[in-house]
Amino acid sequence: MSSIFEKVKAIVVEQLGVDEEEVNMETSFEDLNADSLDIVELVMALEEEFDIEIPDEDAEKIKTVGAAVDYIKENQ
């Protein structure tokens, strides 16, 4: 689980250009000033990293780092 979080964190840091310290399980993408297109890109990067497909209706519900980690755990 920590490894999924670490990977997600690395992607969030890279995609959104934020500092690692800003990213924890509770962080919402909105807090990191991600706009809707940033989030689309983030989801694309997660799909690639974890080799999963996240349907649009699920992607809309992923609003925090923790939600992304949980989703990946359940669907990997």
Partner 1 sequence: MGVDLRTALVTGASRGIGRAIALQLAADGFAVAVNYAGSEAKANEVVEEIISAGGKAFAIQGDVSRSDQVDEMVQKVLAEFGRIDVLVNNAGITRDNLLMRLKEEDWDAVLDTNLKGLFLCSKSAIKPMIKQRSGRIINITSVVGQMGNAGQGNYAAAKAGVIGLTKTLAKELGSRNITVNAVAPGYIQTDMTDKLSDEVRESLAKTIPLGRLGQPEDVAKVVAFLASESAKYITGQTINVDGGMVMA
Q: Which pair of tokens denotes residue 31?
A: 């807090």
Among 6, 22, 44, 73, binds partner 1 (CB under 8 A): 44
**CA–CA separation, 72 and 76 (whole Å):** 6
Among 17, 24, 40, 75, binds partner 1 (CB under 8 A): 40
Q: Smallest Cα–Cα separation from 56: which of 70, 44, 38?
A: 44
User: Among residues 40 and 52, whose Cβ is nearest to partner 1?
Assistant: 40
Q: Which pair of tokens denotes residue 47?
A: 């799909």
Verify binding: residue 52, partner 1, rule CB under 8 A: no
Give the residue numbers marked as catalytic.
35
Tell me which residues touch partner 1 (CB under 8 A).
Answer: 37, 40-41, 44
